[in-house]
Structure 1
Amino acid sequence: MTSDHWEQQLIERTAQRDSEALQSLFERYLPMVRKMFWPYSLRLFDEDDWLQRARFVCYRSCCIFTPHRGSRFASFYQFNLHNELNSLVRYELAQKRLAQKQALSYEVLCEQSADGIERQIEFNAMISQCDEIRHYYVEMLSPSEQAALRVLLGEYSEAEVCARFDWTPRQLQGAMQRCRRKYRQYFNV
């Protein structure tokens, strides 16, 4: 049985709600899924959340995929994942949800003194400004520099990044240096 035929059977079985077929198909595309999520850092959204979302997108893609239209499932699934990521980023950056990031419960406000409330309001304003600055700084970095930034911030180890991007330690050090240089230029440090 050819690889394409086997994949087509998995797609058809997944569309018929076969969870084992979905798992097999998802595991086949797992490296692509992880690589797509790598440059993003969404608030309260970790890799496990992304994998769950990507598994759902895989199922949804299987349900609507039609192979006779000339496209391959891999590119179709990647396109759908990219759209899902864009939706998540738009949701995260929407101005109307800015209040959710800064919300405090009434009970917490009652427990704090007037001075504490003022400090909290100032802190929320500062956090909002920092989020905007961080967003613009991260946007100007290339994907490799964003990965290096995640190493610098301690989110990933150097070994993980080198393995994931097939880099030598020297290439990673170069990306980290470019990241630092752009940081100094951006913040005039």
Structure 2
Amino acid sequence: MEKKNEYDLIIGVKNKNDEDLRELMQRYMPLVNSIKKRYYIRHYDSDDWDQDAMMICYETCCLFDFKLNKSFGAFYKTKLSNHARSLLRYELAKRREPYRKAISYEVATTNGMVNEESRELSITPEREIYQKYLTNLSKLELIATLFLLGMMTQKQACSLAQCSYMQLLQAKGRCKKKLTQELK
């Protein structure tokens, strides 16, 4: 099979020929890879870049005018670079700054940035609200409350409740939610 020239491939893409688009993309993969290396976009992997590059290649073929433009490669490179810059501008926008700096709760607890054991919740059992709160708790939730108050270590609480650490944390969350509802 004879290799098509760039002109025939662009005409084929304009006529909605998928094979011509794939072949044109293969020819310009080094360009796409150089753009990938030049710009880092968070949460953008290689497949995302390839997909965007193919869509931009199709769009560029549809817009390409043989009379006005001499080089398809230069036109495609400009369109792809502009797209990458737009993505970067969007990512670096001031209002999205908190999202760039955000880390997951699991990472924060694993790295010791959040110390769940040190948080305390003051409960004075004399009050009727707190008594009602305590009577509505399950055994696991009572143990989680003791853990929350710092009266038990994690190991003691998990052993007494016969549960995993994750179950204890979930029970602790339910306790906080129930207390908040009682205090309303």
TM-score by length of 1: 0.50
Correspondence 1:64-79 to 2 at 5 A: 64-79=63-78
Residue 85 (structure 1) aligned with residue 84 (structure 2): yes
Paired residues, number:
109
* Cα distance between partner residues in 2 of 1:39 and 1:18: 30
* Cα distance between partner residues in 2 of 1:39 and 1:88: 13
Q: Match of 2:77, as an amino acid?
A: Q
Correspondence 1:22-171 to 2 at 5 A: 22-101=21-100
Cα offset, 1:58, TM superposition? 0.2
Q: Match of 1:29, as an amino acid?
A: Y
For residues 102-143 of structure 1, the C-alpha deviation after alignment (integer angstroms, 9 at most, x for no partner) is: 6799xx8xxx9xxx8899xxxxxxxxxxxxxxxxxxxxxxxx
Between Structure 1 and Structure 2, the one with more helix by share is 1
* Cα distance between partner residues in 2 of 1:70 and 1:13: 18
* Cα distance between partner residues in 1 of 2:115 and 2:15: 56
Q: Match of 1:41, as an amino acid?
A: Y
Matched with 1:12 is 11
Q: Match of 2:53, as an amino acid?
A: A
* Cα distance between partner residues in 2 of 1:92 and 1:25: 29
Cα offset, 1:36, TM superposition? 1.7
Q: Match of 2:85, as an amino acid?
A: N
Cα offset, 1:39, TM superposition? 2.5
Going from structure 1 to structure 2, the CA distance change for 1:51 and 1:11 (only over 3 Å counts) comes to: same
Q: Match of 2:12, as an amino acid?
A: R
SS in 1 for 2:87: helix
Q: Match of 1:51, as an amino acid?
A: D
Task: Please list every run of 5 or more consecutive structure 1 residues that lacks an aligned counterpart in the other structure.
Answer: 120-189
* Cα distance between partner residues in 2 of 1:42 and 1:117: 28
For residues 40-96 of structure 1, the C-alpha deviation after alignment (integer angstroms, 9 at most, x for no partner) is: 221101122111111111000000000111421011101101101110110110112
SS in 1 for 2:5: helix
Cα offset, 1:13, TM superposition? 1.2
* Cα distance between partner residues in 2 of 1:79 and 1:23: 20
Task: Please list every run of 5 or more consecutive structure 2 residues that lacks an aligned counterpart in the other structure.
Answer: 117-184
* Cα distance between partner residues in 2 of 1:34 and 1:104: 29
Q: Match of 1:21, as an amino acid?
A: D
Cα offset, 1:7, TM superposition? 0.9
